[in-house]
Amino acid sequence: MNTVHHLEQPVVNDENPPEGTRRIIGGQERVLYDGYWIKTYTVPADSLDAKKRLIEALTRRLFNHTEHGLNIPGTRLAEARQTHAAETDPGRRRVKAAMLAGALFNRATDIFRKLVELQGEGVEIRSDDALMRECGNCLLEAMELGRFVLHRSGEEGIDELWGEPFRAFSIPVEDFYESRYIKIGQSMRDIDKIANAMSATFAQIPAFAELEPAIRDFACAAKLKTETLRTDPDIFEVWSQLVTSAERLANHAPHPALVENGTPALHNISDGLQLIRNGRDLVSYITRARTPMPKSTREYIERCDIYLESGLVPLLPSPLPA
C-alpha cells in the first residue's frame, strides 16, 4: 500500500500554539506556520561552504522559475550594466534590468565559489574581506532589481525568490531555513485559497458539480510537494501524486447530459475548462517555486467570481513592464 499517496497535512488539536512551534508528529518533526504543520529538515552547519552551496542552489532555482534569458554569466556584468544604462525604451529597459540582475547573481556566486576555494587552501576569510563585501553588494543590487523580473508565466514577479540569495548570504543558515518554512506556510495558504475558490465556484455549476474531489486531491498533493525537498526519499511518490492529480483535474469532462440540457447558455463550458486549467497552472507555479503569488491568487479568485456570476471568464490582462 502506498502510504504517501494517502498522506495529508497533519491536524493537531491544541490551544492555538504560537507560530514556529515544533512538534514530533507521526515520527517526523514539523513546525507550525500559517496554520500548517510543515515538515522540517536537518540544517547544515553554518559555514562558508554551506552558504556557497545554498546560494548556488537558490540561484539555479531562481533562473528556473523566472522569465527566459536572464542567466547572464558574471563575466559579462560590465556589458549588462552598460547596455541597461544606455537603454531608453521602457519595455526593453525592464528586460535589461532583469538581465543585469541575473549577471549580478552569477558574479556573486563566482566570488563566493572562489572564497570557499581559498578557505580550503587555508586562507582565512573574514566577514569584512573586500571580496565578501563585493559579493554582498552584488546580491543586494540584484535583489533591488528583482522588481523588474516576471515569473516564467508572465503573470507577476516573485520578488521573494530574488531576495533569498542575499538573505542566505547575510544571515545564519539556520535562520534562513526558518524563513523558508514561513514562505512554505504562506504558499500552502494560497494553494488552499485557490482550491476553495475553485470548489465554491464549480460546485454551483451543474456541468462541473463533480469536480470538487479532483480539486481537493490536487490541492493536497500540491501542499505535500511544497514542503518536500527533492532530496527527500518520499519525492518519487509525492511528485508522481502531484502530476497525476493535476492531469485528472485538467482532463475533467463536464457532465454531458447537463451540457445538453442547456448549461452552456448559463455558463460557457469552454471558459470553465480554461479556468480550471488556469487554476491548476497557478497552483503548480506556487508549488514548484515554494513561494506565494498573492497578486495572481487574488486575480484568479476574482475571475472565479466573475465566471460564476456572468457565465464568462474575463481575459487575462497582459503583463505590464515594471
pLDDT in tens, 271-320: 999 999 999 999 999 998 888 988 889 999 999 999 998 888 877 654 43
pLDDT in tens, 159-196: 566 677 777 777 888 998 999 999 999 999 999 999 99
84 vs 80, 140, 172, CA distance in Å? 6, 17, 33
pLDDT bucket at 84, cuts 50 / 70 / 90: very high
The answer, yes or no, to whether residue 70 has pLDDT greater than 60, is: yes
Q: 91: buried, middle or exposed (CB in 10 Å: 19+, 13-18, 0-12)?
A: exposed
All cell numbers assigned to 96: 535589461
Q: Regarding predicted confidence, which is higher, 92 or 127?
A: 92
The answer, yes or no, to whether residue 263 has pLDDT greater than 60, is: no
The answer, yes or no, to whether residue 157 has pLDDT greater than 50, is: yes
Distance, in Å, from the CA atom of 213 to the CA atom of 199, rounded to the nearest integer, reads 9
Distance, in Å, from the CA atom of 277 to the CA atom of 162, rounded to the nearest integer, reads 27
pLDDT in tens, 200-250: 999 999 889 899 999 999 999 999 999 999 889 999 999 999 999 999 999
Q: What is the per-residue pLDDT for 317?
A: 54
CA 227 from centroid of its chain's CA atoms: 11
The rounded mean pLDDT for the chain is: 85
Q: Which helix (H) or strand (E) holds 47?
A: none
- By residue count, the chain amounts to 322
Distance, in Å, from the CA atom of 239 to the CA atom of 224, rounded to the nearest integer, reads 9
Q: Regarding predicted confidence, which is higher, 115 or 320?
A: 115
* Coil, strand or helix at 216: helix
Q: Does the global pTM surpass 0.85?
A: no
Identity (one letter) of the amino acid at 238? V
Q: What is the per-residue pLDDT for 159?
A: 59
pLDDT bucket at 258, cuts 50 / 70 / 90: low
All cell numbers assigned to 310: 456572468
